């Protein structure tokens, strides 16, 4: 993995591929490469480093009207020029770019080497180019050659393949790793992410797992793995190239944090019913009787999506009084979960392509579970696999660390909880209270954003700590977990989140002047208990940064945010922690938008 782009049409392929690769840079990568077909031969350039390094390595005379490009995030073999994609077969006729993991690569490599094939790289992906290279000699169809090669492969892939003998044709295939086709005027594109195509077209077609497509300048055809042609309806992406610009901000992350008054308003738009104080969620595809029939809610997602799910579980229990809990999708899928007909499953994903979450959804569906998706990317794999759901409408999230998708997911859960609550026992008065609270969120987020200068100073003050503890109780605990996640992933400062109530059962031993604590202290029924915890930390000479609705002498520093309804306060309390992590990362001169070792969307196991 990480990013694929392909082009066939009348224009200069190399410059379109380089532009597309630039648009994929946000996903994180360590090397880049491209190949074009020219006069029945392949031209290839690959470099360890940035897309700008690749552009500098591509000579002016690198003409071709079809080609493929890739940004690689190393899985098999270290980042290097040779391990970068595209990979060729040994006769240099076929070139392949691949996202995903070939699980039986070692076995295939041994078999091919036994047949005299010489490998260039250490990657699992090269077995694909070598296999297609062998098959392409046995058939006069590139699609057939790719299809035959894929029959011996176990694993996940999104691939694009070109053949020097067929200049006007590209074959792409998907199994677990996204591929989207972009339909232009007498030109066609394919990519792993619409970001790479959006400057050229907004008409797209998503491939399903097991599908292949042949793309030519004048159109495309899609097939199942057993060569049956499939019918696909293109749809129009409602994001445009402007959504992918940094809007004059120094980093995408700051842009995305700052966008939250708008993105939260978009998640809410048209979904609050003032007459019955309920949420309109047409995408759930469930009538009131069905909505009432669930006895449990189980939420799955990975990383920050999972933490937003914890916030969601809390909201559902409080407002709808249905037992709810969240679990990492990556764990859920491996433990043979008991799937019950009266449980509503909810899968969360910004990208809609996270492999662990997708695999968990597929497992649930196999076992007859009813699964909703809370997803940002329209038409993505998880959106397609689920029985219904809620789109976030937060616009594309470019920075690797999730911010606006997190808050919009929490808001979507508040809407879902309101909806589930109002078809059960939540009173109209409480329904109205929540509707009014939701409406106040965008303005209150604006108010929090005005605290940025103060938060920057605090971030500078604490950034050189060797580590930080984050604590919160009940509603505050998911806030603490997400705050620790943001800090560790973009600033590389060790950060650990604990329920405040658990501190005295172990981690209190860590508290010292060297390990400051960020304490989430909302004004709710647990305020006194939280203040007692601050006292315990202080008695061990721990420094405290308190985030809440008031100041306290028990803390060294306080960030005070506007108060909403107790159930909705966690959403607002998250935002200063995003700014804190951002400014800590800037103070430490980190690569804020592309933190080391991380990719934006994890489409491998």
- Give contact residues for ligand F6R (rule: CB under 6 A): 302-305, 349-351, 354, 357, 401-402, 485, 489, 601-602
CA distance 605 to 600: 14
Least Å distance between CB 324 and ligand F6R?
Answer: 19
What is the DSSP pairing of strand 157-163 with strand 87-88?
Answer: unpaired
Least distance (Å) from ligand F6R to the CB of residue 261?
Answer: 20
Active site residue 61: no
Which residue's entry shows tokens 């966690």?
570
The minimum distance between CB 347 and ligand F6R, in angstroms, equals 9
Is the distance from CB of 533 to CB of 281 less than 8 angstroms?
no
Closest to ligand F6R by CB, 389 or 542: 389
User: Tokens 């705050």, residue?
Assistant: 483
| CB within 8 Å of 140: residues ≥ 6 apart | none
According to the 3-state scheme, what is the secondary structure of 405-425? HHHHHHHHHHHHHHHHHHCCC
Tell me whether residue 201 or residue 357 sits nearer to ligand F6R (CB atom): 357
Instruction: Compute the least distance from the CB of residue 331 to ligand F6R, in Å.
Output: 14
Nearer to ligand F6R, 490 or 559 (CB): 490
Distance separating alpha carbons of residues 466 and 492, to the nearest angstrom: 10
Task: Tell me whether residue 333 or residue 549 sits nearer to ligand F6R (CB atom).
Answer: 333
Minimum CB distance to ligand F6R smaller for 303 or for 548? 303
Q: Coil, strand or helix: which one is 494?
A: strand
Query: DSSP of 40-60, one letter per residue?
Result: TEEEEEEEES-HHHHHHHS-S
CB of 486 to ligand F6R, least distance (A): 6
Q: Any idea which residue has 């699992």 for tokens?
A: 124
Whether 504 sits among the annotated catalytic residues: the reply is no
Contact between residue 370 and residue 387 where contact means Cβ atoms under 8 Å apart: yes
Rounded to a whole number of angstroms, the minimum distance from the CB of residue 311 to ligand F6R is: 13
Residues 96, 76: Cα–Cα separation, whole Å: 16
For residue 394, the minimal CB distance to ligand F6R (Å) is 11
Q: Min. distance of Cβ 183 from ligand F6R in angstroms?
A: 25
Q: Nearer to ligand F6R by C-beta: 130 or 354?
A: 354
- Give the whole-angstrom CA distance, residue 583 versus residue 394: 23
Distance CA 307, CA 229 (A): 41
Under 8 Å between Cβ of 300 and 332: yes
- Nearer of residues 55 and 313 to ligand F6R, judged by Cβ: 313
Query: CA distances (Å), 415 to each of 313, 343, 548, 569, in order?
Result: 12, 19, 24, 14
Is there a contact between 493 and 590 (Cβ–Cβ < 8 Å)?
no
Query: Measured between alpha carbons, how far is residue 479 from residues 88, 463, 466, 475, 502 in Å?
Result: 48, 19, 21, 7, 16
In degrees, rounded to 5, the angle at the alpha carbon of residue 274 between the alpha carbons of residues 478 and 316 is 25
* Residues counted in the chain: 605
The Cα-based distances of 154 to 41, 72, 230, 425 in angstroms read 30, 20, 23, 50
Which residue of the set 298, 488, 563, 600 is catalytic?
Answer: 600
Question: Among the options 2, 302, 435, 558, which is catalytic?
Answer: 2
| Longest Cα separation, the chain | 79
Quick one: 200 or 244, whose CB is closer to ligand F6R?
244
Q: How far is the CB of 352 from ligand F6R (least distance, A)?
A: 7
Which of 334, 365, 329, 332 is CA-nearest to residue 347?
Answer: 329
Position of minimal CB gap to ligand F6R: 303
Would you tell me how many other CB atoms lie within 10 Å of the CB of residue 156? 22
Q: In which residue are the tokens 């070792």 written? A: 597
Q: Kindly tell me which of 67 and 373 has the beta carbon lying closer to ligand F6R.
A: 373
For residues 568 and 441, the answer to whether their CB atoms sit within 8 Å is: yes
Minimum separation from the CB atom of position 492 to ligand F6R (A): 14
In angstroms, what CA-CA distances link 106 with 113, 188, 389? 10, 34, 40
Q: Tell which residue, 371, 368, 365, 313, has the closest CA to residue 341.
A: 368
Nearest to 592 by CA among 305, 399, 397: 399
From the list 321, 13, 318, 364, the residue with the least C-alpha distance to 190 is 13
- Residue 105 vs 480, nearer CB to ligand F6R: 480
Annotated active-site positions, please? 2, 600
């Amino acid at each position: 993995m990480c990013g694929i782009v392909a082009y066939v049409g009348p224009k200069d392929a190399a410059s379109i591929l380089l532009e597309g690769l630039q648009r994929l840079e946000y996903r994180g990568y360590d090397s880049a490469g491209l190949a074009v077909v020219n006069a029945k031969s392949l031209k290839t350039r690959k470099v360890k480093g940035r897309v700008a390094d690749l552009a500098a390595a591509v000579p002016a005379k690198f003409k071709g009207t079809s080609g493929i490009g890739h940004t690689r995030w190393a899985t098999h073999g270290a980042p290097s020029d040779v391990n970068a994609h595209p990979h060729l077969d040994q006769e240099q006729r076929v070139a392949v770019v691949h996202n995903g993991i070939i699980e039986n690569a070692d076995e295939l490599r041994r078999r091919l080497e036994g047949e005299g094939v010489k490998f260039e790289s250490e990657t699992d992906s090269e077995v694909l180019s070598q296999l297609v290279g062998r098959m392409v000699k046995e058939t006069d169809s590139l699609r057939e050659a790719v299809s035959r090669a894929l029959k011996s492969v176990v694993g996940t892939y999104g691939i694009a393949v070109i053949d020097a003998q067929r200049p006007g044709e590209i074959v792409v295939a998907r199994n677990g790793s996204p591929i989207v086709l972009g339909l232009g005027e007498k030109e066609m594109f394919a990519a792993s992410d619409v970001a790479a195509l959006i400057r050229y077209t907004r008409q797209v077609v998503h491939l399903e797992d097991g599908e292949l497509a042949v793309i030519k300048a004048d159109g495309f055809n899609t097939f199942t793995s057993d060569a049956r042609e499939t019918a696909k309806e293109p749809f129009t992406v409602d994001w445009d190239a402007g959504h992918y610009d940094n809007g004059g901000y120094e980093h995408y992350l700051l842009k995305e944090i700052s966008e939250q008054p708008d993105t939260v308003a978009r998640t809410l738009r048209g979904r609050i019913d003032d007459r019955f104080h309920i949420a309109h969620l047409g995408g759930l595809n469930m009538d009131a009787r069905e909505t009432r029939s669930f006895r449990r809610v189980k939420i799955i997602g990975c990383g920050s999506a999972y933490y937003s799910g914890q916030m969601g579980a809390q909201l559902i229990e409080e407002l709808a009084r249905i037992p709810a809990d969240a679990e990492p999708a990556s764990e859920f899928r491996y433990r043979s979960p008991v799937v019950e007909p009266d449980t509503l499953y909810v899968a969360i994903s910004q990208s809609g392509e996270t492999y662990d979450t997708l695999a968990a959804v597929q497992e649930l569906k196999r076992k007859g579970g009813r699964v909703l998706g809370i997803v940002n990317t329209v038409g993505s794999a998880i959106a397609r696999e689920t029985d219904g759901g809620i789109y976030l409408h937060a616009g594309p999230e470019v920075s690797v660390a999730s911010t606006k998708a997190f808050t919009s997911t929490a808001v979507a859960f508040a809407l879902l909880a309101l909806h589930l609550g109002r078809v059960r026992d939540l009173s109209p008065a409480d329904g109205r209270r929540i509707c009014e609270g939701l409406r106040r969120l965008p303005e209150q987020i604006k108010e929090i954003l005005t605290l940025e200068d103060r938060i920057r100073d605090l971030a500078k003050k604490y950034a050189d700590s060797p580590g930080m503890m984050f604590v919160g109780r009940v509603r505050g605990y998911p806030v603490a977990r997400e705050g620790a996640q943001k800090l560790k992933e973009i600033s590389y400062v060790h950060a650990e989140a604990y329920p405040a109530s658990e501190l005295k059962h172990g981690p209190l031993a860590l508290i010292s002047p060297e390990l400051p604590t960020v304490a989430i202290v909302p004004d709710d029924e647990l305020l006194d208990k939280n203040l007692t915890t601050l006292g315990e930390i202080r008695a061990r000479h721990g420094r405290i940064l308190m985030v809440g609705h008031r100041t306290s002498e028990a803390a060294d520093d306080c960030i005070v945010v506007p108060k909403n309804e107790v159930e909705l306060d966690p959403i607002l309390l998250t935002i200063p922690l995003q700014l804190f992590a951002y400014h800590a990362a800037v103070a430490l001169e980190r690569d804020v938008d592309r933190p080391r070792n991380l990719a934006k969307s994890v489409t491998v196991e």
